[in-house]
Amino acid sequence: MSVTNAPKELFKPLQLPLRILTGPGPSNCSQRVLDALKQQVLGHLHPEILQLMDDIKAGLRYAFQTVNRLTLAVSASAHVAMEAAIGNVLERDEKLLVVKAGLWGERAADMAQRIGIHVDFFHVEPGVAFKLEDFEEAVKRHRPAAVFVAHSESSTCLVQPVEGLGEICHKYDALLIVDTVASLGAEPFFADAWGVDVVYTGSQKVLGAPPGITPMSFSPLAEKKIRSRKTPVHSFNWDMTWLGRYWNCFEAENGPRPYHHTISATLVYGLREALALLAEEGLEASWARHHAVKAKFHEALAKRGYGFYVEQPRHRLATVSSILLPAGVDAPSLIAFAKDRYNVEISGGLGPTAGKVVRIGLMGVNATPGHVDLVLRALEEGVKHVKDRTISSA
């Protein structure tokens, strides 16, 4: 038997652009994170890696503002954390109430239904924060075992206030699951004080690590629910009793850290350094920096006559902005112009905002006044270019 030829494309040197990632994520990594990613791989049970995992747990407890012992990172994207959040605390035929405010609620519902969980929706107007009394009414009517809410609905660029939701959920014996993928580190968030039972975030947004290692945290109530399951978690890979033991979360009950999977040492280095940077800057300083950048960006946009999908300024996410497309400007042409002329990423709408907006993200190392000026220039020139082209081809 003869071996087929080696693929020619693999003989070309690896060449990548240095793109400025100002879409909804991933965001650029800091130089310190990039330096960490260059280090040699270590084994998944080597003491140095286990120590870094402990550092990460401490950093995540700080970032989430929690003392939850079951705090760790899953070896996968934030989509998997969404699935793991739902699939660990709920079993087949239990009820999940999903706040449907944009794409993330739809994704959560899809994932839950695939594992046999019954989904009810609390329909809210996309881009508008819902009120506590309407939320309570929905929880009272549906009596779910858990509720899913996106703190940062990055498809519309709304930040949904979470304070008060935990209390309502607990009053009706439901757990509260919150997606903070595009907000943690930029928007104030207090997992314990707000009664959040399961929370996850993206490593690749404000934190500025690569995607593929996703922070999560489970409250004692969520842990109790997991421990009282009648059936095993649908996926071995995302089973928190296994992962919690690997991450040494269970104190005296933990026992030796088992071999569960081969964690990416490289991603552990990256996330550890990203969290070290957050700790050095300080959470409040990071919140303030992101809010100051948003204020500068939004003021400049308003001055130039741009509109926002989220009308209420206080409910506009600090990290990603959904800017209404000016008449006669199509998103793909604008996005292509920004990439080709400025090497700047601008993204289109998603879910309810598809075709209506462009989304620009200024987070992590890209949350600076200089980046505001850069994306404004790319946007302004891009809009002019697309309009001029439309006129000349008419």
List the binding residues.
359
What's the closest the beta carbon of residue 182 comes to ligand GLV, in angstroms? 6
Looking at beta carbons only, is 154 or 183 nearer to ligand GLV? Answer: 154
Site string for ligand GLV, 23-62 (x = CB under 6 A): -xx-------------------------------------
Using the minimum distance from each CB to ligand GLV, give the nearer residue, 164 or 211.
211
Closer residue to ligand GLV in complex, CB, 75/154: 154
Please state the closest distance from residue 25 (CB atom) to ligand GLV, in A.
5
The contact pattern for ligand GLV, residues 143-182, with x = CB under 6 A and - = no contact, is -----------xx--------------------------x
Q: Residue 155's closest CA among 80, 97, 104?
A: 104
Q: Nearest CA to 308 among 319, 316, 300?
A: 316
Work out whether 105 is an interface residue with ligand GLV (CB under 6 A).
Answer: no
For the chain, the helix, strand and coil percentages under 3-state DSSP, each to the nearest 5 = 45, 15, 40
For residue 166, which amino acid is it? G
Q: Does 195 bind ligand GLV (CB under 6 A)?
A: no
CB of 16 to ligand GLV, least distance (A): 21
- Burial label, 5 (beta-carbon count in 10 A; 0-12, 13-18, 19+): exposed
Smallest separation (angstroms) from ligand GLV to the CB of 166 = 24
Numbered residues of the known binding site for substrate: 359
Q: Is the distance from CB of 362 to CB of 372 less than 8 angstroms? A: yes
Record the tokens describing residue 358, joined without a space. Answer: 């462009």
Cα-trace Rg, the chain: 22
Q: Alpha-carbon distance 47 to 51, whole Å?
A: 6
Closest residue to ligand GLV, based on beta-carbon distance: 154
Could you tell me where the beta strands, DSSP code E, fall in the chain? 70-74, 95-100, 118-123, 146-150, 152-153, 158-159, 175-179, 198-200, 214-218, 320-324, 347-348, 357-361
Q: Which is nearer to ligand GLV, 53 or 103 (CB)?
A: 103
* Cα 60 → chain centroid: 14
Q: CB 299 → ligand GLV: shortest distance, Å?
A: 23
Whichever of 142 and 359 has its CB closer to ligand GLV, that residue is: 359
The CB-of-388 to ligand GLV minimum distance in angstroms stands at 29
Check residue 350 for interaction with ligand GLV (CB under 6 A): yes
Cβ contact 162:149 at 8 Å: yes
Q: Smaller CB distance to ligand GLV: residue 344 or 350?
A: 350
**Nearest-approach distance from CB 208 to ligand GLV, in angstroms:** 15
Q: What DSSP state is assigned to residue 346? A: -
Candidates 194, 168, 179; CA nearest to 101 is 179
Provide the b/e sequence for 155-176 (b: ≥16 CB within 10 Å). bbbbbbebeebbebbeebebbb
Cβ distance to ligand GLV smaller for residue 285 or 354: 354
Q: Using CB under 6 A, list all residues that contact ligand GLV.
A: 24-25, 154-155, 182, 350
